Structure 1
Amino acid sequence: MSGHLRIRWTIVPSTAPQPLINCNRCGGLKPYRCSGRFRVNANGKRIDAWLIYRCVDCDNSWNFGILERCSRRDIEPARLAALESNDPVLAYRHAFDVIALRRQVGRVEEFPDVAVRKEVLEGTRESAAVLELRLGLEMSTSLRLDRLLSGELSISRSRLQALEEKRLLSVDPEGAKALRKPARQGTTVRIDLVGEDDRQAIISAAGG
């Protein structure tokens, strides 16, 4: 058992962030969810566009600004067509732009639920002694790395910490308390499984 098993995990957040907004109908701070629909307004040669959000309780609307007084000639025709047709891919991309959301409303609630697509890049289950997981994110997530690994590999977070303390688990790029930070694009996790009784179960759960 001298080989590496390299697997790519593509992490897809399941629930879009929800801005917290003072709802004038409910009379308090409420989470708003993305409707998946755009509003586009043309005033002469100027275009305004918003992504429409709805209060989770009363369905009151709030508009997340995408374009403001933008010249039509500065907008790619394909992008304008996507806005006007409520393209779901474009809506998804803007809905997960938590930085832009915070810039407009300040407070945003994020959710840790994700789906993980797994693809073997190199190696085989039978010969693997070291499991190498390469993370790719379609969008940013607040899910901590240790929670991701624990859920997908079916091992406890305390065991992950113990493996790290024994230098049987490493995270690249390294950083203080890397396991406790959100999963990030480009992160590589290596776990030395030599001597682990449940090596095959961990590898199978990893996608090998």
Structure 2
Amino acid sequence: MGMSLRIHWAIAPEIAPRPLINCNRCGAVKAYRCSDKFRVNANGKRIDVWLIYRCIDCDNSWNFGIFERCNRRDIEPALLAALESNDPVLARRHAFDVVALRRRVGRIEEFSDVVVHKQRLCDNSESATALELGLELEMPTSLWLDRLLAGELAISRSRLQALEEKRLLVVDPDGARALRKPAREGTTIRIDLSGEPDRDTIISAAGG
């Protein structure tokens, strides 16, 4: 590859996973959305903390346990204050904890919608003949890498596949069918655009 334009992509999911729960009010299995609100219940020295979810149809509540019968002394004062004030960053972190949610309810509805913040790391877009994209994920996503690249670069997934087959697109760390797997933290994608007539358009879309 020729001279590369290095661009950092910070990727944040938009919609939190929704547990699928048997709603006793609707009488059927429904998706529950995170309310971004905590419920803190203190009973003497013991504290219970839940993240509150609501049925998307009837607003019935369901509590996702964060701490159960926990000794107050075992919770940092700053963390307890964040829970009691419904800190949005903390609520978001727990809402996107797919592993914990799946352990509790089993079935989860996941979404691939993301926001991508792009930062150019060098100023050679006019002379660059290749792209080097570094991925930083705020949280894991189910969005396949080829869908992410196709959407952000405004090119087709079949074209990405063709570039990979010609070794003009390389994913590091590489793996079998890397494009058809979820985007991962720390992944670097290098694309040789030296022979592509729409080089400038792709570089601009990438954030160059």
- 1:27-46 equivalences under 5 Å are 27-46=27-46
Q: Which amino acid aligns with 1:159?
A: R
- Find the aligned partners of 2:137 and 2:184 in 1 and give their Cα distance: 7
- 1:140-179 equivalences under 5 Å are 140-179=140-179
Please state whether the residue corresponding to 2:12 is helix, strand or coil: strand
Q: Which amino acid aligns with 2:173?
A: P
Aligned residues of 1:2 and 1:128 also touching (Cα < 8 A): yes
Aligned residues of 1:154 and 1:205 also touching (Cα < 8 A): yes
Of all paired residues, the percent bearing the same amino acid is 76
User: Does the alignment pair 1:4 with 2:1?
Assistant: no
Please state whether the residue corresponding to 1:143 is helix, strand or coil: coil
Aligned residues of 1:47 and 1:69 also touching (Cα < 8 A): yes
Aligned residues of 2:145 and 2:178 also touching (Cα < 8 A): yes
1:189 alignment counterpart: 189
2:73 alignment counterpart: 73
- 1:17-28 equivalences under 5 Å are 17-28=17-28
- Find the aligned partners of 1:93 and 1:194 in 2 and give their Cα distance: 41
- Find the aligned partners of 2:49 and 2:117 in 1 and give their Cα distance: 33
* Alpha-carbon shift at residue 2 of structure 1 (Å): 3.5
2:57 alignment counterpart: 57
1:58-111 C-alpha deviation (Å, 9 max, x unpaired)? 000000000011111111111100100011110000000011000100011110
Divergent runs of 4+, >6 A: none
Of stretches 117-126 and 179-188 in structure 1, the one that deviates more from structure 2 is: 117-126
2:98 alignment counterpart: 98
TM-score, L = length of structure 1: 0.98
* Alpha-carbon shift at residue 129 of structure 1 (Å): 1.2
* Alpha-carbon shift at residue 135 of structure 1 (Å): 0.3
Structure 1: which 5+ runs fail to align?
Answer: none
Q: Which amino acid aligns with 2:190?
A: R
1:115 alignment counterpart: 115
Structure 2: which 5+ runs fail to align?
Answer: none
- Find the aligned partners of 1:14 and 1:74 in 2 and give their Cα distance: 32
* Alpha-carbon shift at residue 122 of structure 1 (Å): 2.3
1:134 alignment counterpart: 134
Count residues with an aligned counterpart.
Answer: 208
Aligned residues of 1:3 and 1:123 also touching (Cα < 8 A): no
* Alpha-carbon shift at residue 21 of structure 1 (Å): 0.4
- Find the aligned partners of 1:31 and 1:124 in 2 and give their Cα distance: 47
CA RMSD across the alignment: 1.0
TM-score, L = length of structure 2: 0.98
- Find the aligned partners of 2:65 and 2:127 in 1 and give their Cα distance: 53
- Find the aligned partners of 1:2 and 1:27 in 2 and give their Cα distance: 61
1:98-136 C-alpha deviation (Å, 9 max, x unpaired)? 110001000111101110000011241111111000000
